[in-house]
Amino acid sequence: MHLYEAFYDAFEKLEQEKCIELVNDALKSQSINIEDLYENVLRMSMSHLTDVESDVNHKIWKEHIQSGIIRSVIEMAYPYVLKQRNKIASKRAAVICPDGEQHELGARMVSDYIRMMGFETFFVGRDTPRKELFDLIDSLKLDLIAISVTNYYNLSKAVQMVSFIESNFPSIKLIVGGKGFEMNPNLFDQNKVEVTHTYEDIKRVLGNIV
């Protein structure tokens, strides 16, 4: 049985220890790397998660348990992220979600991708108030900000964030990603913003600035 199939079977049964054991064994044996784990196991498993808007039988308690499983696996894999990291650059990055965006697992994986590219990376995560952006950027002396949106109704807040950053910190590189942008991939065509969905996208965009 392939890792994804075994993992998803345990994931659906809410068997957290089994999920962690499967991934830990695969990483230790080097039969999978972080990119494969995130793209072909975790993201694929998360793609089956529903919400109250798309599924009348959605169970919030189950979604929370499964989200916790994914989060535990990501944290367990962190030492392997550091092993795969390129040489550490002098650049600094932060990964944020707009005010109101509660889903941050995709953003958490993106922060590891950026760290693997050599950036010193700060994971801010969900529900970041726009009014705190100036202090965030000024305090951390950032070179890059990644904005993640899962729910499309938070796109307007992402647009406001981008506008603020471009107006006040024009030298900062901006990338965006997340399920929310799949419905509107051309949202930032008039901005100097890169839309990314995979590690390959991030490597393509950031490869020339690390």
Per-residue pLDDT at 16 exceeds 60: yes
How much is the pLDDT for 186? 79
- Percent of the chain exceeding pLDDT 90 equals 77
Average pLDDT over residues 19-23: 98
Confidence class for position 192, pLDDT limits 50, 70, 90: confident
User: What is the per-residue pLDDT for 19?
Assistant: 98
Q: What is the pLDDT of residue 55?
A: 65
Interatomic CA distance for residues 30 and 168, integer angstroms:
44
Over residues 144-169, the mean pLDDT reads 94
Kindly state the average pLDDT of the residues 35-60: 82
pLDDT surpassing 60 at residue 52? no
Q: Provide the whole-model pTM.
A: 0.91
Helical segments of 117-198, H only: 133-140, 155-168
pLDDT higher than 60, residue 210: no
Q: Which residue has the higher pLDDT, 86 or 78?
A: 78
Mean pLDDT on 172-185: 89
**What's the average model confidence in pLDDT over 58-74?**
94
Mind listing the pLDDT tens digit for each residue in 103-151? 999 999 999 999 999 999 999 999 999 999 999 999 999 999 999 999 8
Cα–Cα dist 112/202, whole Å: 11
Question: Is residue 162's pLDDT more than 80?
Answer: yes
Who wins on pLDDT, 52 or 9? Answer: 9
Q: What is the three-class DSSP state of 145?
A: strand
pLDDT band, residue 208 (cuts 50/70/90): low
Compare 192 and 107 and report the one with higher pLDDT: 107
Residue 50 is predicted with a pLDDT of: 59
Q: How many helices (H) and strands (E) does the chain have?
A: 10, 5
Burial letters 173-202, b for 16+ CB under 10 A, else e: bbbbbbbbbeeeeebbeeeebbbbbebeeb
